[in-house]
Each structure stands twice: as C-alpha cells, then as structure tokens.
Amino acid sequence: MTLFSYEIFDAVARQGSFNKAAQQLHLTPSAISHAIAVMEAELGFTLFNRGKNGVTMTSYGASLYPSIRAVLNSDEALQQSIARLNGLEKGKVKLGAFNSVCAGLLPQILKSFMASYPQIEVEVYQGTYDDVKEWLRTGQVDLAFLSATCREEFNLTELFREPLLCIVPQDWPEPPNGIMTPELMNGQSFVVQCDATDAEMRQFLKKYSISTERRCHVIDDQSNIAMVEAGLGISIMPRMLLRSCTAAVKIYPIEPEEYRVVGLAVQRPTAMAPAVEQMFQHIVDFCRQMDPQLL
C-alpha cells in the first residue's frame, strides 16, 4: 500500500462517507471506493462497513487506524523538517479541545500563533473529554487540551487552574457571606452533564459525599446554564464558562476552594513535528503569561 492509500483510508475514516472523502481529496467517489477495495483485497479483510447512512470502520479497520495515522504523522513531520531546513516555517497542526477552551481561550491563542507563523495550518477539533482523548490516542490530533482528570492516561503539561463555582437560579436564597459550601449543596437538585464532560463536578460530589437529586442530564455547557436558569437545579462549573454568562442566574464561590486543572497533552511527546513543537510551546507560553482574569 502507498502513502496515498493511507490518506484515502484516513479521509474515509474521518468523514464516514466515500463522497465526502472524495470531496476532501478532490477525487471521484468511485476512485475512493476502488482504492478502498484494492486495499481490502491486498490485506485480505474488510476495512469498512457500507450502509445507507455512510461507512464505518470494521474492527479490523479500527485496529489498523492508529498505525496508519502514525505513518501519516511521520510523513508530515518529515515534510516539516525539510521545510525548516530550507528556512521555512510550514506544516499542519491538529488540535483537540473541549468546549470552554474553544470558546474562551483558543481564539486568542490561534490569533497570536497565526500572526507569528502564518504558514502553519491549524485544524481545531472540538468535543468532550472522551472525544479529545480518543482523537489523541488514534493520532487524529497532535495536541490536546485535557483536564487533569485524564492525567492517568496522558502526560499533561499543566497550563492553568481555574476555580469551580456554584451556579443557582435567581430565586435561590442567599447563602451566608455569599459563599456556597458542600453542606448547603447536599441533597439539592443538580443539573449534570455526561461523564465525558462533567468529570470535575462528579469528583467534587464524591469528595464531599454530597447526595443529589439529578433531574436533568444534558450534553453541553449552555444547556446546563439554561436548565439552572429555568429553576431545575443547581450546578458546578469552571469559572471560564461563566465569565461572560448573561443568563438570569446567581454565581457563588465555593469553600473549600476546588479547581479544574487544564493541561496540554501531545500525541508523540518524544517525536513532535516542528510545527507541533512550535504550537505546543506557543500555548504553554501564552497560558503562563495570560491575565488570570481571563479564566
């Protein structure tokens, strides 16, 4: 199989469609289908399940995908190294991030990075913690913003810490001294998100043995805030998410203070491509120099 075969496999895996992969690679759908069929004949097993709603990787295809991504990443690193030797700063960086970083921090990082390295292309992939972890494992992204709750799986370079805050409906009684405590939250109705998004809240509830009535299970931050605004429960969220909140809610600090720790993980720590290394260092420097009030 050729490197271009790997690129076709990758495009189909990412797009979940022969037609969309063809558009991405500027080929015809029949050329994509033929290329995959040739790969399957050469390998001796099926790589993709074909269906009315698109294509999905078989278990064989999924087991090969990380190795195929590694080959493509190695080629990208080689091309970037050659460009650097020729005095050019070129390449592509694929960056994974969860919602609050995408909305509250990443635009400023990308703006400053692109001003310094206009020839480096950056692709951003937004998802839950679990999405980002899977993209990093399989090589779909080179770098990833992750919570310290993922520290057991990846080597994280800590970027910043942001306090967790309690968000309550407008008619919630004022807590003593304007501070929420685990005791005041115990037994209350909570709006929670899925495990892949809300790891810090779940750790907090477990740490302080807080029993809750969980009325709403939502999948994104804005829905979380909207449910609290409607009086369906209280919630715990990182400060970055609430910095520009205009909803009709009250936001209180929590004592004892608890934090979300955000770090940066790299897909291949010992073999970063030049462009990835530039982006990694830029993010670390940006976060160390930024105004804490941005969080």
Domain that holds residue 205: 162-258
Q: Looking at the predicted structure, is the pLDDT value of residue 196 above 60?
A: no
Residue 15: C-alpha distances to residues 19, 38, 91, 161, 196 (Å) = 9, 19, 22, 35, 23
User: Cα 253 to chain center, whole Å?
Assistant: 26
Sign of CA dihedral 43, 48, 51, 54: negative
Higher pLDDT, 84 or 267: 267
* Residue 104 forms part of a structural domain: no
- Give the range among 45-54, 191-200, 234-243 with minimum mean pLDDT: 191-200
From the list 279, 253, 271, the residue with the least C-alpha distance to 97 is 279
CATH of the domain at 14: 1.10.10.10
Q: Taking a C-beta distance cutoff of 8 angstroms, is the pair 260, 164 a contact?
A: yes
pLDDT of residue 197: 63
Give per-residue pLDDT as tens, 38-76: 999 999 999 999 988 889 999 999 999 999 988 888 888
How far does the chain reach from its first CA to its final CA, in angstroms?
A: 48
* Residue 38 forms part of a structural domain: yes
Average pLDDT over residues 138-161: 88
Q: Taking a C-beta distance cutoff of 8 angstroms, is the pair 143, 267 a contact?
A: yes
Average pLDDT over residues 218-236: 89
Cis peptide leading into residue 118 (ω within 30°): no
- Give the range among 164-178, 187-201, 218-232, 252-266 with minimum mean pLDDT: 187-201
Percent of the chain residues topping a pLDDT of 90:
49
Tokens 């992939």: give the residue: 125
Higher pLDDT, 277 or 229: 229
Average pLDDT over residues 83-93: 70
CATH of the domain at 205: 3.40.190.10
* Residue 171 forms part of a structural domain: yes
* Residue 278 forms part of a structural domain: no
- Give the range among 70-74, 107-111, 170-174, 244-248 with minimum mean pLDDT: 70-74
* Residue 7 forms part of a structural domain: yes
Q: Taking a C-beta distance cutoff of 8 angstroms, is the pair 232, 247 a contact?
A: no
* Residue 91 forms part of a structural domain: no
* Residue 123 forms part of a structural domain: no
Residue 37: C-alpha distances to residues 63, 146, 205 (Å) = 18, 37, 51
Higher pLDDT, 9 or 194: 9
Residue 112 structure tokens: 């400053």
Average pLDDT over residues 89-98: 87
Q: Taking a C-beta distance cutoff of 8 angstroms, is the pair 123, 170 a contact?
A: no
Residue 151: C-alpha distances to residues 108, 143, 155, 264, 269 (Å) = 25, 15, 6, 10, 14
* Residue 83 forms part of a structural domain: no
Average pLDDT over residues 185-213: 83
pLDDT of residue 94: 92
Nearest-5° Cα angle at 216, 212 to 218: 125
- DSSP, collapsed to helix, strand or coil, labels residue 250 as strand
Question: Is residue 277 very low, low, confident or very high in pLDDT (cuts 50, 70, 90)?
Answer: confident
**Residues pairing with 126 in the sheet:** 97
From the list 251, 258, 234, the residue with the least C-alpha distance to 185 is 234
Answer with the one of 65, 100, 117 that is the final residue of a domain. Answer: 65
Number of compact structural domains in the chain:
2
Q: Where would I find the H helices in the chain?
A: 3-15, 18-25, 29-43, 59-85, 99-104, 106-116, 129-138, 182-185, 199-207, 221-229, 239-242, 274-289
Average pLDDT over residues 255-278: 87
Average pLDDT over residues 266-290: 87
Helix 129-138 crosses helix 59-85 at what angle (to 10 degrees)?
70
